């Protein structure tokens, strides 16, 4: 074991949350050490970003680099499995300026841009270095890290940020990781090559196809390049078990359940008519969880290391990065002893954002809340449509009280009608009729 290395702040994980925190804290003058188990670029799921990422990328100084490599995302289209009923949410309906066009990204390249930026801004980044053991001592935290040659290296710091993603390094060590039991789902995904995608995909509109009984599953189609689609299937684990029972002889059950689900959707088959699979199928299971404790005197968790919920609204990258921004500000105050409550305050906001998204997700899966319209109540509800546009764009931090009130109203038909009277002038009818945002 080599001599321990001292730093101010240690960060486990160099994904979007860890890289963002590293950049900002280094800019604030802290000595920052990131340990990342992979060698970047490394593949990652989660390719569709929401518009509220725009400002964060700009502040980090990487907006132009991301714009140069990304595919534009002007909106999101929800359809039922046949494609006959749909609604198209164009961010331009509520957002002005260039941020109305969001991004689809190849995560390997996107994450590398963010991590390289952290290095440029002064953070030390050690790749192929896996956090193994942690000790909280009186005045410091100690982390043992395994290097690529299997040597162990110890780092001592004032504070540690866990940004280890679904690995949930600290929550596992502290045994604070809890599952959202009712979100017991698994995702299967891969990339497809397509010669000539349909108009909506050429324009960059993300497609979310859901089965009438949403517990049975939904499909995402994300155009990450002109001729490359990311296509994923999310299924309730009970449905997967049922499928396996019905198909006991299928050799590759994952590929089987994936292709079978795609084939059940006429809309999806139309999209993929001339497309072919490019990569081996990947899968993520049991991914909705939270840590009961997310911060303490010498640690905090950001991004997926602290909470992850169903990816239907493409919120993960934004939440990780936004949390990194506000945690970095709070840490500056707390470590410089200006405000001992700074972390406690920002975690109220962070937890509030996850609560809000969970409400949106629960509403997506409940049959009464019909995102793809036609017989949905929202066709007549102007302000609900407007609020939905904002939430699909990522407005989870600033107006939590308004949106929580909105979800409360939803439960009560009398109060709900008051929303219908609020005006939304121009665009809402088109949500249920237009196929593109152009
Ligand atoms: C099926 C699915 C679809 C998704 N779709 C979207 C989407 O469309 N849009 C979106 O915004 N989000 C999406 N997400 C969520 C998104 O992928 C995550 O929220 C996002 O990557 C979180 O960033 P992060 O930095 O917290 O974690 P990560 O990006 O996972 O980064 C964590 C890093 O920590 C490293 N690490 C882990 N353990 C250790 C260790 N012990 N030592 C050192 N390093 C370690 C890992 O190698 C990794 O690089 C999706 C997720 C899933 C499962």
331: confidence class by pLDDT, cuts 50, 70, 90: very high
Does 368 have pLDDT greater than 90? no
**Strand-pair partners of 243:** none
Distance of alpha carbon 318 from the chain centroid: 6
Atom of ligand 1 at shortest range from CA of 318: 11
Best mutation site among 45, 188, 231 for ligand 1 pocket (most ligand atoms within 8 Å of CB):
45
Atom of ligand 1 at shortest range from CA of 40: 49
The verdict on 170 and 254 lying in the same domain is no
The verdict on 47 and 116 lying in the same domain is yes
Residue 314: CB within 6 Å of ligand 1?
yes
Residue 45: CB within 6 Å of ligand 1?
yes
Does 423 have pLDDT greater than 70? no
What is the reported pLDDT for 199? Answer: 92
What is the reported pLDDT for 415? Answer: 52
Residue 16: CB within 6 Å of ligand 1?
yes
Best mutation site among 13, 76, 221 for ligand 1 pocket (most ligand atoms within 8 Å of CB):
13
* Ligand 1 center from residue 168 Cα (angstroms): 10
The verdict on 296 and 264 lying in the same domain is no
What is the reported pLDDT for 420? Answer: 43
What is the reported pLDDT for 387? Answer: 72
Q: Cα–Cα distance between 258 and 148 in angstroms, integer?
A: 35
In a domain, 61, yes or no: yes
pLDDT tens profile 247-284: 988 889 999 999 999 999 999 999 999 999 998 999 99
Residue 44: CB within 6 Å of ligand 1?
yes
Mean pLDDT of 394-400: 87
Does 419 have pLDDT greater than 60? no
CATH of the domain at 323: 3.50.50.60
Does 93 have pLDDT greater than 90? no
**Strand-pair partners of 79:** 86, 209
The verdict on 312 and 233 lying in the same domain is no
* Burial of 274 from C-beta contacts in 10 A (0-12 / 13-18 / 19+): exposed
The verdict on 248 and 150 lying in the same domain is no
In a domain, 357, yes or no: no
Does 438 have pLDDT greater than 90? no
What is the reported pLDDT for 285? Answer: 85
Does 418 have pLDDT greater than 90? no
* Ligand 1 center from residue 166 Cα (angstroms): 6
pLDDT tens profile 225-250: 999 999 999 999 999 999 999 998 88
The verdict on 39 and 131 lying in the same domain is yes
What is the reported pLDDT for 374? Answer: 46
In a domain, 40, yes or no: yes
Tokens of 391: 């939430």
Q: Cα–Cα distance between 370 and 75 in angstroms, integer?
A: 18
- Structural domain that includes position 150: 5-70+105-178+288-352
* Ligand 1 center from residue 224 Cα (angstroms): 17
Residue 49: CB within 6 Å of ligand 1?
yes
Tokens of 4: 């321990």
* Ligand 1 center from residue 212 Cα (angstroms): 29
206-210 and 282-285: which strand pairing?
A: unpaired
The answer to whether the beta carbons of residues 23 and 118 sit under 8 Å apart is: yes
What is the reported pLDDT for 428? Answer: 56
Mean pLDDT of 77-83: 89
The verdict on 154 and 262 lying in the same domain is no
Q: Cα–Cα distance between 56 and 387 in angstroms, integer?
A: 21
The verdict on 242 and 294 lying in the same domain is no
The verdict on 278 and 292 lying in the same domain is no
Does 421 have pLDDT greater than 50? no
Does 424 have pLDDT greater than 60? no
* Ligand 1 center from residue 415 Cα (angstroms): 39
Residue 18: CB within 6 Å of ligand 1?
yes
The verdict on 275 and 341 lying in the same domain is no
Per-residue HEC secondary structure of the chain comes to CCCCEECCEEEECCCHHHHHHHHHHHHCCCCEEEECCCCCCCCCCCCECCCCHHHHHHHHCCHHHHHHHCEEECEEEEEECCCCCEEEEEHHHCCCCHHHCEEECCHHHHHHHHHHHHHHCCCEEECCCEEEEEEECCCCEEEEEECCCCCEEEEEECEEEECCHHHCHHHHHHCCEEECHHHCEEEEEEEEEECCCCHHHHHCCEEEEECCCHHHCEEEEEEEECCEEEEEEEEEHHHHHHHHHHCCCCCCHHHHHHHHHHHCCHHHHHHCCCEEECCCCEEEECCCEEECCCECCCEEECHHHCEECCHHHCCHHHHHHHHHHHHHHHHHHHHCCCCCCHHHHHHHHHHHHHHHHHHHHHHHHCCCCCCCCCCCHHHHCHHHHHHHHHHHHCCCCCCHHHHHHHHHHHHCHHHHHHHHHCCCCCCHHHHCCCCCCC
Does 376 have pLDDT greater than 70? no
H/E element, 194: strand 185-194
299-301 and 228-236: which strand pairing?
A: unpaired
In a domain, 366, yes or no: no
In a domain, 437, yes or no: no
Residue 51: CB within 6 Å of ligand 1?
no
Does 336 have pLDDT greater than 70? yes
Tokens of 229: 């689609």
Tokens of 63: 């907006």
Q: Flag the least confident range among 4-18, 308-322, 370-384.
A: 370-384
- Give the mean pLDDT of the chain: 89
What is the reported pLDDT for 399? Answer: 85
CATH of the domain at 246: 3.30.9.100
- Last residue within a domain, chosen from 285, 307, 330: 285
What is the reported pLDDT for 245? Answer: 93
What is the reported pLDDT for 407? Answer: 77
- Last residue within a domain, chosen from 285, 320, 341: 285
- Last residue within a domain, chosen from 247, 265, 285: 285
pLDDT tens profile 284-319: 986 789 999 999 999 999 999 999 998 989 999 999
Rounded to two decimals, what is the model's pTM? 0.93
* Ligand 1 center from residue 165 Cα (angstroms): 5
Residue 15: CB within 6 Å of ligand 1?
yes
* Ligand 1 center from residue 383 Cα (angstroms): 33
383 compared with 234, residue with greater pLDDT: 234
* Ligand 1 center from residue 322 Cα (angstroms): 14
Does 182 have pLDDT greater than 90? no
Residue 162: CB within 6 Å of ligand 1?
no
In a domain, 122, yes or no: yes
Ligand 1, atom 4: closest residue by C-alpha: 46
Ligand 1, atom 26: closest residue by C-alpha: 303
Does 51 have pLDDT greater than 90? yes
The verdict on 59 and 139 lying in the same domain is yes
Ligand 1, atom 13: closest residue by C-alpha: 46
* Ligand 1 center from residue 36 Cα (angstroms): 12
What is the reported pLDDT for 188? Answer: 96
429: confidence class by pLDDT, cuts 50, 70, 90: low
Q: Cα–Cα distance between 438 and 92 in angstroms, integer?
A: 10
Our count of domains for the chain comes to: 3
The verdict on 190 and 269 lying in the same domain is yes
In a domain, 79, yes or no: no
What is the reported pLDDT for 414? Answer: 59
The answer to whether the beta carbons of residues 94 and 393 sit under 8 Å apart is: yes
What is the reported pLDDT for 1? Answer: 58
402: confidence class by pLDDT, cuts 50, 70, 90: confident
Residues 6+ apart with CB under 8 A from 51: 91, 95, 99, 100, 101, 102, 393, 394
């Amino acid at each position: 074991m080599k001599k321990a290395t001292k730093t101010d702040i240690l960060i486990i994980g160099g994904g979007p949350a860890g890289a963002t925190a590293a950049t900002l804290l280094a800019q604030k003058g802290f000595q920052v050490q990131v340990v990342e188990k992979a060698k970047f670029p490394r593949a990652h799921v989660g390719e569709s970003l929401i518009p509220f990422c725009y400002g964060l990328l700009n502040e980090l100084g990487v907006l132009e680099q991301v714009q140069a490599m990304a595919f534009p995302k002007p909106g999101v289209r929800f359809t039922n499995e046949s494609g006959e009923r749909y609604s198209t949410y164009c961010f331009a309906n509520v957002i002005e300026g260039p941020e109305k066009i969001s991004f689809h990204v190849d995560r390997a390249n996107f994450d590398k841009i963010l991590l390289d930026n952290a290095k440029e801004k002064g953070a030390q980044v050690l790749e192929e270095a896996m956090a193994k053991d942690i000790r909280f001592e009186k005045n410091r935290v100690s982390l043992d890290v395994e290097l690529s040659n299997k040597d162990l290296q110890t780092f001592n710091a004032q504070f540690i940020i866990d940004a280890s993603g679904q690995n949930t390094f600290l929550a596992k060590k502290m045994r604070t990781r809890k599952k959202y039991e009712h979100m017991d789902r698994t995702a299967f995904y891969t990339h497809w090559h397509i010669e000539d995608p349909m108009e909506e995909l050429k324009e960059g509109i993300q497609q979310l196809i859901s089965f009438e009984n949403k517990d049975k599953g939904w499909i995402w189609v994300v155009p990450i390049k002109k001729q490359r689609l990311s296509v994923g299937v999310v299924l309730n684990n009970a449905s997967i078990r049922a499928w396996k029972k019905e198909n006991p002889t299928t050799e590759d059950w994952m590929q089987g359940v994936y292709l079978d689900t795609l084939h059940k959707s006429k809309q999806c088959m139309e999209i993929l008519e001339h497309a072919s699979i490019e990569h081996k199928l990947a899968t993520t299971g049991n991914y909705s969880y939270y840590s009961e404790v997310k911060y303490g005197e010498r640690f905090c968790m950001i991004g997926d290391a602290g909470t992850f919920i169903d990816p239907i609204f493409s919120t993960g990258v934004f939440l990780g990065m936004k949390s990194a921004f506000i945690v970095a500000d709070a840490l500056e105050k707390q470590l410089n002893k200006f405000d001992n409550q700074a972390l406690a305050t920002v975690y109220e906001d962070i937890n509030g954002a996850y609560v809000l998204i969970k409400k949106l997700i629960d509403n997506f899966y409940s049959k009464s809340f019909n995102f793809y319209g036609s017989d949905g109540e929202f066709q007549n509800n102007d302000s609900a449509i407007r609020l939905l546009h904002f939430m699909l764009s990522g407005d989870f931090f600033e107006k939590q009280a308004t949106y929580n009130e909105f979800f409360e109203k939803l439960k009560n038909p009398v109060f709900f009608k008051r929303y219908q009277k609020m005006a939304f002038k121009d665009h809402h009818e088109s949500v249920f009729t237009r196929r593109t945002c152009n």
